[in-house]
């Protein structure tokens, strides 16, 4: 008897699951695509790779320093490459600061501080910077120099530049 009762209960449970509880789900799935009219564009055509032969191996490397050859008809101006370099010629001008002046025995000196914190005394005729700069004038607020640099055609030209008095924390512009 128990077996019959168990079979009847199982068949009743299975018949309850097969009811119309999924009809609304089936209808939603069937209607989900209605009203959509989109179109997917086809993928673009892939162009085959075209190789390029690089033929500039004989040209100079633009990232390596090179000596410029002077053009014909140049000014003849050249720095003295045989003279011994002074200490301040090791530094670019951007790393040098004028911090003051000093007058001794009727000679005016400029006080120059380097990027490593060293202080140097310079006078007219001393060299500074990496472009063969010679000091031509020392004023209370600036050092004036004449540098000798190469132009784009390889000729040496003179260029005037100056280093102004550095404005420190205890010096204010007035």
Q: Is residue 151 part of a domain?
A: yes
The enclosing domain of 100 has a CATH number of: 2.30.30.830
* Mean of all residue pLDDT scores within the chain: 82
Q: Is residue 120 part of a domain?
A: yes
Alpha-carbon span 26 to 19, nearest angstrom: 13
Alpha-carbon span 165 to 142, nearest angstrom: 5
pLDDT per position as a tens digit, 157-171? 899 999 998 764 443
How far is the first Cα of the chain from the last one, in angstroms, to the nearest whole number?
115
Q: Is residue 29 part of a domain?
A: no
Residue 73 pLDDT exceeds 80: no
Return the pLDDT at 53. Answer: 82
More confident residue, 117 or 38: 117
**Most distant CA atoms of the chain, gap in Å:** 134
Q: Is residue 81 part of a domain?
A: no
pLDDT per position as a tens digit, 56-68? 777 777 787 766 5
CB under 8 Å to 143, separation ≥6 — which residues?
A: 98, 110, 112, 122, 128, 135, 137, 162, 163
pTM of the model: 0.54
Least confident piece of the model among 24-28, 95-99, 134-138: 24-28
More confident residue, 15 or 136: 136
Q: Is residue 118 part of a domain?
A: yes
Domain count, the chain: 1
Q: Which domain holds residue 122?
A: 87-164
Q: Is residue 132 part of a domain?
A: yes
User: If you write DSSP's letter for every residue of 93-109 in order, what string do you get?
Assistant: GGG-EEEEEEEETTEEE
Return the pLDDT at 172. Answer: 38
Q: Is residue 116 part of a domain?
A: yes
Q: Is residue 103 part of a domain?
A: yes
């Amino acid at each position: 008897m128990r077996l019959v009762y168990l079979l009847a209960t199982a068949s009743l449970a299975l018949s309850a699951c097969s009811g119309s509880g999924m009809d609304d789900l089936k209808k939603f799935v069937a209607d989900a695509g209605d009203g959509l009219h989109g179109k997917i564009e086809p993928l673009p055509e892939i162009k085959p790779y075209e190789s390029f032969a690089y033929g500039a191996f004989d040209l100079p490397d633009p990232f390596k320093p090179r000596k410029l050859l002077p053009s014909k008809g140049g000014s003849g101006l050249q720095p003295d490459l045989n003279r011994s370099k002074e200490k301040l010629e090791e530094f670019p001008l951007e790393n040098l600061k004028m911090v003051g002046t000093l007058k001794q025995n009727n000679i005016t000196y400029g006080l120059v501080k380097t990027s490593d914190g060293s202080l140097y005394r310079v006078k007219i005729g001393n060299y500074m910077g990496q472009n063969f700069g010679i000091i031509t004038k020392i004023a209370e607020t600036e050092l004036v120099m004449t540098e000798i640099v190469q132009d784009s055609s390889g000729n040496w030209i003179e260029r005037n530049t100056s280093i102004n008095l550095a404005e420190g924390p205890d010096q204010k512009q007035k």
